A and B are shown apart, each in its own frame.
Chain A
Amino acid sequence: EESEISEGALVRDVLYACQGIDGRYVKFEKELDGFIVDEAFRVPRATRMLVRKLCEVGWLFRKVQQHIDESIKQGHMEEIGTVGQAFCASLQEELSDYYRLIAVLEAQVHNPIPLMSVGNKVENYLSLRRLLVWLAEPLVRMRLLAVLVDDCKGLKGGAMAGAIHMHAQHGAPIVRSIMARLLVRVCSPLFEMVRRWVLEGELDDIYEEFFVVGHPVKAEALWREGYRLQSGMLPSFIPESLAQRILRTGKSINFLRVCCDDHGWAEAARDAVAAASNSGNRGGLGYGETEALEVMVVEAARKIDGHVLKIMYDQYRLRDHCLAIKRYLLLGQGDFIQYLMDLVGPDLSQPANTVSSFKLAGLLESAIRASNAQYDEGEILDRLRVKMMPYNDGDRGWDVFSLEYILRDPLNTIFTEAVMANYLKVFNFLWRLKRVEHALSATWQTMKPNCSLARLFTSSGSAEKSQVAAILRRCQTLRNEMNHFVTNLQYYIMFEVLEYSWAKFLEEMEDAQDLDDLIAAHERYLTSIIEKSLLGERSKLLCKTLCSLFDLILRFRALADRLYENARAVQARSDSSLRKKLERELFLSNTSRKAASMDFTVEFLKGMGDEMDGVAAEYSSLFEGFIAQLPVQQHVDLKFLSFRLDFSEFYIRQHMNMSTAPL
C-alpha cells in the first residue's frame, strides 16, 4: 500500500468527512461509530488522532442530516407536523451556513500559502491544525443541533417546542443566540395557531400539534367537553394558567358561534387586537414574547368573555331563568305552590298509574291562573311543565309527580341534565316537605272543633270522659310537636338555605368574569343547597331518617283523621240520639243506649290510643336520632337548625334524663 499520504490529501478527506462523505483515506467506520483514517494506510498516530478529532463534526453532521432526510421524506412530512417542519427548515438553514464555511475551506485547500520568499516547496494553505481553528465554532453548533435532534426524536408540536425550549436555558452566549433564532422559527406555527384560536376560534391544527384539542360533541356539551387542554403538547414556556385562558377564549368564540348563533365576537376580537397593539406591543407573537402573548390573550379573553356574559344575561336572560327556577322548582312562589297543592292533592292520592298527566297539566295551568304567577311572562311560564316520573307498583301520585323547567340552547350549557336532575331532587324533597306541612295543617283544621267534641263527652261518665280527653290531648300535643319540627325545618330550608344561597349566587354572578366562573358559581349554589338541605352524599343517613319521619307524620295524619272522623260520627249519632232521646225519652231505657255507644267508644279509643302511642314512640325515637345526627354534619348552618329545633333545650334535657336515669 502507499505509505505516504500528503497532508493536503488528508485535509481534503477531512473536509469531505465533515459533510458526511467518505474520502479516499478517511472513511466512516461502523464499529467505532466515527470517521477515522483507514487502517490500511500508515499514518502517524498523532495525525490519526487529530483527524479523528476533526471528524467529530462530520459525525454530528451525519446525524443532523439523517434527521432532516428522514423528516423530509415524502409521506413523513405529514407526520412530523408543522412544528417539526419548521424545525427541519431551521436546521437546514443552520446547515447551509455550515456548507458555506466548508466551501470556503475547500477553496482554500488548493490555494498555496502566500509566501514571502519564493523558492521553497509549495505548501497548501490549510493544514490539519489550521482546520482545528476553523472547525471549532461549527463543532459547538453542530453538537447543539445534534443534541436537539436526539431530544426531539418522536416528538411533535408543542411537545417538541417545549423540548427545544428546555435547551435554551444555557449560559453560553453562542448557544443562546442559536437557540433564540431556532425557537422563533420553530414556534411560529404554534403561535399562529394560538392567534387563530384566540381571535377567530379556529382550531387550525391538522397534525394534532396544538395544546388544545377539540372533540365533536353536541351543542349543549360543547362548553364542558368540546375542547380540552392536552398537557403533553403544552410547551413549558407557556404557563398553565395562560394556556387555560387561551383554551377558554377560543372556546368562548366557538360557543358563541355554535350555541348562541352570535357574530358580535368578531368585533370584540378586533377590539382586543387593537387594544393589545395599543399597549406597546405590535401584536406580533413569537417565542420569547410571552408577555405580548399574555397581553393579547388577556385582552381578547376579557373582551370575548364579556361578550359571552352579555349575551347570556341580555339575550338569553339567564337571571330571569334562574329566578324562575327558584320560584317554581324551589317553591319560592308560595301562593302558586299552595294552589297547586290544593288542586292536585286529590288526584295525587290516587295510584300512580291512574293519574293522568294531561289533567295535571291542566291543573298546573289553573294554579298559574289563580296565583300571582299569572303575571309572569309567558315565555317563562311556557317552560314550566308537569313531569311524571316512571312509577312502580303501589306508588301513589305523590311519588311520581314533579315539575320541570325546560331550558334550551345555550342555557343548557349551564343547566345540564345532571344539574336539572339535582334540581329535581331538591324539588321532590321540598314538595314532600310541603306536603307534610300541608297535611299537618289539614289535620289542624279537622282538630279545630275540639271543644264541641270535648263537650260531647261531658255527658258521659267521668272515666270515659277522661279517656277521651286524654287521647284528644295526646293527639294535639303530638301534632304540635310534629308541626314544630316541620315548620322549623321548612323555615331553615326556605330561608337559611335557599335565600342565603341565592343571595350569594347573585353576588357571585355579579362578579363572574367568564362563563366558567358563572358555571362554577351556579354549581356552588346548587351544591350548597343540596348539601345544606341534607340531600348530599354525606348526609344520606340523615335524609333517610327524615324521610321516615315524613312517612310517620303522614301516618299520623291518617290516624288523626280516622279518630276525628269516628269521633264526629259518634257525635253526629249522639246528636241524633239525643234528639231521639228527647223525643222518646219515655220509651227507651237510657242505659241500653249508653251501653251501646260506650262499648264502641271504649274499644275504639283503646285501639286508637295504642296506635297513637306507637306512633308517638316511633316519632320520638326517630326524632331523637335525627337530632343526635345533626351535630355530626359538617355544615355550620345545620348546627343552627339543631339550635332552632331544640331551642329550649327540651330534647337535650329529655335525652339526658333518659340516659342518666334509665327505667
Chain B
Amino acid sequence: GNKGVPSDTFSMTDLNRAIGIYAPSVQELLLIDDLLYAMVGIEGKYISFQKGKSKENTWNFQIDPSMDLSLQESAKRLLPLCECYSIVSQFTESRSHFEYGLVNHALAAAFRAILQDYHALVAQLEHQFRLGRLALQGLWFYCQPMMGAMQALTNVVLKASEGSLSGAAILNLLENQAAAIAGDSAARSLLQKLSQFASAPYLGILERWVYEGVIDDPYGEFFIDENKALQKESLSQDLNATYWQQRYSLKHELPGFLSNAAETILTTGKYLNAMRECGHNAKISFSDDMKGLGSGTRHYLERINVAYNFASAELLDLITQKFDLMGRLRSVKHYFLVDQGDLLVHFMDIAKDELAKRPSTISVEKLQSLLDLALRTSIAASDPYNEDLLCNVEKVSLLKQLENLQKMGFGGFAKTQKSEDANSLELSSGQTTSGIITGLETFTLDYKVQWPLTLVISRKALMKYQLIFRLLFHCKHVERQLCGTWQVHQATRGLRFIGTSMPRSYVLCQRMLHFTQTFVHYLTFEVIEPNWHVMHGKLQAVKSIDEVIYQHDYFLDKCLKECVLLWPQIFKKVEKLKAICLQYATATQWLIPSMSAPDLNSSDSAGVKSSNSGTSNRFTRNRYNDDQARTAFNSSDEATFRTTISKIGEEFDKELNKLLLLLTTESQTDPYLAHLAHGLYGVGKDI
C-alpha cells in the first residue's frame, strides 16, 4: 500500500527528517530511491558525497547514520558502482574536448555508449521500483554485470588520467589492460571493443599515411614524426645526409599491435612522400572492401605489405626510369672516378698555370671556364649531364681533410683508426713542413644533383667521390711530372753520359714511373672497376630505393677503403712517395737543362752550324765527338746533380721498402692490399 509513497509526493516534512524515524521497510524504499539517484551521480536525501580532497579521482560517500545498520551495509556494497560512474562520466565529458586528440575522442564516445546502457539500466530499475518489484537485494543483483564493467572502465580511466595519456599510449593502455584481465572474459571483450573503437581514428591516420604518404594528424598522436625543418634541399648541402633518415622518424610511443610493422609503415609513407615531392602522384588502386584498415581483424599487416611493395616499386621505377639514376651514376663515374681520361689530360694541360697557384689566389671562375672548355672538347661532350659538372678548390690537402673527417668521427673514417693519434700529430707536423700546397693538391670536382637523385648521390656520397677523385688527380699529376722528366731525359740521349749520373737518373725515373703507374693501375683496374661492376650488377636487381642507397654507399665505402684512403699509415707512405717523385721531377727538370745549357753555348762558339732550337740540336748532336759531349755536363752542376739523385734515390728506396713491408703485414688481414703489394714488388729493388 505504502510502496508508492516516496515516488510521487515530496512532502515538506520529509526533507528535514532523519531517516531513522521510519520503519525499516520504509527506510528501504527511501534508500533505493536515493541509491538510484546516486547511481547517476546525484546526491540524494540520505546519501551525500563530495570529491575526495587528497586525490583527484576519489569520492567520499556519506550515508545518513540514523539508517538501519543492515540497510547501511547493503547500501555500501553499491557505493563503489556510484563512484565508478562519477569517475567515468567525468572522464567522458572532459576527454571529448578538442585538445585531447582523436583517440581520446573516440574512447570517450565509446564510454558514452556504455554509460548510455548504464542509464538505461537505471531507468529500468526505476521502472521496476515504481512497480514495487524492486528490493535492495534485487537492486544489488541487477547491478552485478554492470559493476564488473564499470570497474574495468574505472581502472582504465584512472591510469589514463594519471599520465594524461593520449594517442598511441591510450591504445597500448587498453591492450595491456585487456591482456592483464584476460581471465575475465566479459571485461576483456569489453576492453577489446573499446580499443577497437579508440583505434578507429588512429587507423584512419595510418591509412592516409600508408596509401597517400600524408600525415593528417591534427593532434600529434601518430607514431611518425615529421621534422618540417629538414628540407629536401638540405641533401645537397648537409654532409651527413640526414634528410632521408630524419625527415620522418618513429616516436617512442608505438601502438603495440603495429610495433612489428612500424618500420615498414614508415618507409612506405616515406616513399610515397618522396614521390609526391617529385610531383608524381601515385595511388594504390585497391578494391573498396580491401581498403579499409580498421575492419578490426588483423588483415592490415598484409595490406601494409601490399602498400609497401607498391610504393617501393613505384619510387624505384620513378627514380631509375624518369630520373635516369644509372645514367647519372655513370656520368658521375666519368668525372669523379676518371674513367674517360682525355677530359682530365686536356684540363690539366690548359689549367696548368692556374692550378700551380696557391689555393687562395686561384680563380674558381677561371678554372670553371677552363673545365667547360675541356668538357666541350673531350669525349665528355657526349654526356648529356656534363653541364652539371662544377669545379671547386678546397682549402686543405687531402691528407688534412681525411684527418679532419677522422676527427669528426665521420662515417667509416673513425672505426679503422684507434691508436692513430700520435700518427696524426706527426702527420700534421709533416704537413706544415711540406710547405705550401698548390691548386694541384686542392682541386676537386663538384656535381649538381637534383632531387630526388640527391637521395642516392647525397652530399656525403659526393664527398666520398671527391676524396677518390683528388687521390686520382694527384697521382695523375705526379705521373705527368715524371713524364716531363722523361722528356727531359730524351733531350740528353745524344750526349755522352757514360760515367755521369745520368744513367742512374734514367733508372730512378723509370722506377718512379713504374711505381705511380702501378698504383694508378691498382686504383682504377683493381679497385674501382671491379667494384663498380659488382654494384652495377646488384643495382639491376634491387627492390627498393633503400637498397639502392645501401649498395651505392657500400660501393663507395669499399672503394675508399681499398684505395687506402682509410689506411692512414699506408696512405701517408704513398703520399710521401709521391712527394719524393715530385721532388725528383722538379730537381731533374731544373738541373738537367742547366747542365746542358753551357754545352749549347760552347757548340755555338765552336762555330759548328746548328740552330739554337733544342730539337735540331738533338739530331745534330750525334756528329759531335766525345770531347765536346763530355763538356756537356759541367762538373760542378754534375756534382750537385749526382748528390741530389742519389739522395732522392735512397729515400725513395727506403720509403718504398717501408710501404711494402707495411702492405705485406696488413695484407694478411685485408687481402686486397696483397694486389697492391704484388704490383709494387716489381718496383722494389731488393726485397
Contacts and interface: CB of A to CB of B under 8 A. Distances in A.
Contact of A133 (B96, B120, B132, B198): B120
Contacts of B101: 171
A50 B11 contact: no
B interface majority secondary structure: helix
Contact of A172 (B7, B34, B42, B105): B105
In this complex, which of A6, A170, A171, A173 has the most chain B Cβ atoms within 10 angstroms of its Cβ?
A: A171
A49 interface: yes
Interface string A127-167: 10110110011001000000000000000000000000001
B351 to A, nearest CB: 15
B419 interface: no
A656 to B, nearest CB: 13
A636 interface: yes
B42 A46 contact: yes
A173 B4 CA distance: 42
Given A123-B130, A136-B112, A129 B10 contact: no
A242 interface: no
B203 to A, nearest CB: 11
Interface string A111-128: 001011100110100010
Interface in A41-55: 42-47, 49-50, 53
A154 B10 CA distance: 47
Contacts of B363: 639, 643
A636 B369 CA distance: 12
B206 interface: no
A44 B43 contact: no
B686 interface: no
B160 interface: no
A171 B15 contact: no
A140 B96 CA distance: 10
Interface stretch (B121-129, B312-320, B435-443, B645-653): B121-129
Count class of interface residues, chain A:
35 or more
Contacts of A4: 9-11
Contact of B106 (A6, A116, A129, A173): A173
Interface residues of B, number: 49
B127 A113 contact: yes
A171 B104 contact: yes
A288 B416 CA distance: 57
B7 A7 contact: yes
Interface in B87-127: 96, 98, 101-109, 112, 115-116, 119-120, 122-123, 126-127
B40 interface: yes
B165 to A, nearest CB: 14
Contacts of A643: 363, 365-366
Contact of B123 (A116, A123, A133): A133
Contacts of A3: 10-12
Interface string A477-511: 00000000000000000000000000000000000
A640 interface: yes
A252 B108 CA distance: 50
B45 A640 contact: no
Given A50-B37, A129-B126, A171 B45 contact: no
A174 interface: yes
A169 interface: yes
Contacts of A123: 8, 130
A127 B131 contact: no
Interface in A1-58: 3-7, 42-47, 49-50, 53
B279 to A, nearest CB: 12
Contacts of B105: 170-172, 175
Given A136-B119, A171-B201, A5 B10 contact: yes
Given A50-B42, A132-B40, 6 more contacts: A4-B10, A44-B10, A129-B123, A136-B115, A136-B119, A175-B109
Interface of A: 3-7, 42-47, 49-50, 53, 113, 115-117, 120-121, 123, 127, 129-130, 132-133, 136-137, 140, 167, 169-175, 636, 639-640, 643
30 contacts: A3-B11, A5-B10, A42-B10, A44-B10, A44-B44, A45-B43, A45-B44, A46-B34, A47-B10, A49-B42, A113-B127, A116-B131, A120-B131, A121-B8, A129-B126, A130-B123, A132-B119, A133-B119, A133-B120, A133-B123, A136-B112, A136-B119, A169-B218, A171-B101, A171-B107, A171-B200, A171-B201, A174-B109, A175-B105, A640-B365
